[in-house]
Amino acid sequence: MRRTLSLFALLLTAPALAGDYNGDGYDDLVIGAGEGNRALVIRGGRYGLSTAAELLPSTFGLSIDEARGMGQSFASGDLNGDGNDELLIGAPAATVFGNSYAGALILAPGSGVGPSATGAVVYNQSTIGGGGHAYKFESFGAALAVGDLDGDYDIDLVVGTPGETSGGLYAYGTVTTHLNTSLSTSSFTSKEWYQDTPGIDGAAASANRFGSAFAIGDFDDDGAMDLAIGVPGAHSTTVSADEGLVEVLYGTSAGPTATGSQAWTQDSPGILGAAESGDAFGQTLESCDIDLDGYDDLLIAAPYEDIGSTSDAGAVHILYGSSTGLSAAGTELLTPASTGVLSTTSSTRFGAALRCADFNDDGNPDLAIGAPGATVSGRSGAGAVVILYGGAAGLTSGAVTSFDRSTTGVAGDPVASAAFGSSLTSGRYNVDNADDLAIGAPGDTVGSLSGAGSVTVLFGRSTGLTTSGSLLLTGDTASLPGVATAGEAFGFALQ
């Protein structure tokens, strides 16, 4: 049960779909150096990941202050329908109009050579629409998501501003949705959402951080995607803090609506466990159709959940979709112990990152769960990742395995505070049909550089993820542009 949120905890975002930024049919991997103000785009290809390009503030004509935090969040989608995905890059610590940490969002169009500065657009809260204004410490762009929220087959954009402050409330948080997104705000239909929006359950309060995480899925299978919003700082009393809450807005032909919205906490009827101060329920979200019934399901992490007397062990809740939307019927609770491959120890932070994918190409969704605080070979905070393979009856019917830096075939050694598993993404980086997994360890030591960070890539096969041919990428990897820097947190965010 933690009392304060670290920078890593504040800015973790829900994973989104992988991107193919050059239209060659292979997914590309994007790595953010959260404190280094840069991002790397590594091309996928027939034989796997290959050439890379470095994106810096100067790439887009920005100073470091104007793009500070660049690479702390990402999203991708083909916004203009040209066959190349666009890359959206959050810079939630950017200075705007002299206001530090106001936040910015860079939209880099896809092209035959990947994300391009040509035609790139830089948004802030004052320019993107929705009625917001760029003020200090609001962290616009800390969370990003894309999906079809109105069922028109176009990609729509969601942007979180969890530090939004006004009316005597600080960091209560807002979310803006932008329908019919292309490359220009002239085509946007924008709306701002917050907990005091009529129809939304709950009330805005200081430090709620509404909009810290997103998951988009069609929970009622009506053709319009629905939006789950993480509110990890929500609390039920003045003496509690960071219990957490998830708001769900259902999609319609006109976009998300507060009508019929849901608010989920660990005290909601049917939800296993109980809300406690410091759980941060909703800090990480993911969506996929786990049981293949046609309705997307919602995974909600409470990475600081206490298990018995073990503090901050972490837990993941599964809510299943239905014709009427998400329901607590049949809800499941995953913990380190329930997986059978991870010990329940303090500060494990099981669920700090989540990723649904099909790692063995059997048609069943699999789930990767990050546990960046796990102790490995006696090294606290070295981190681990648990893989639950889906089966005919869902996640609990398939095989379970785990990976960490002591696993045979995984390059490198366990390093204290490396936080392996802090971020996760997946994509098909090579010619086969199984998804591959990238794992961020933003606290990893590279040479003598503490906190330089690293990323491990495991490739999918018909038998599941394998360490054969796995990659260890750092800022000093010879094939990558740039150099490793102490404290830059390479791997902070992945796309």
- Residues 262-319 have pLDDT tens digits of 999 999 999 998 999 999 999 999 999 999 999 999 999 999 999 999 999 999 999 9
Strand duo 143-147 + 121-123: pairing: unpaired
Residues 6+ apart with CB under 8 A from 407: 467
Smallest Cα–Cα separation from 94: which of 138, 41, 159, 40? 138
The per-residue pLDDT for 187 is 64
The model's pLDDT over 70-113, given as tens digits with 9 standing for 90+, comes to 999 999 999 888 899 999 999 999 999 999 999 999 999 999 99
Which residues are CB-neighbours of 377 under 8 A, at least 6 positions away? 406, 413, 414
Query: Residue 461: helix, strand or coil by DSSP?
Result: strand
- Separation of alpha carbons 175 and 195, rounded Å: 10
Q: What is the pTM of this model?
A: 0.94
* SS3 label, residue 99: strand
Residue bearing tokens 């995905």: 85
HSE-CB at 495 with a 13 A cutoff on CA atoms is 30
What is the distance between the alpha carbons of residues 382 and 405, in angstroms, rounded to a whole number? 8
Matching residue, tokens 């600081």: 304
**Sheet of 189-193, strand order:** 143-147, 156-161, 174-179, 189-193
How far apart (Å, rounded) are the C-alpha atoms in residues 396 and 390? 7
Q: What is the pLDDT of residues 313-371, one digit of tens each?
A: 999 999 999 999 999 999 999 999 999 888 888 899 999 999 999 999 999 999 999 99
Tokens of 259: 């009508």
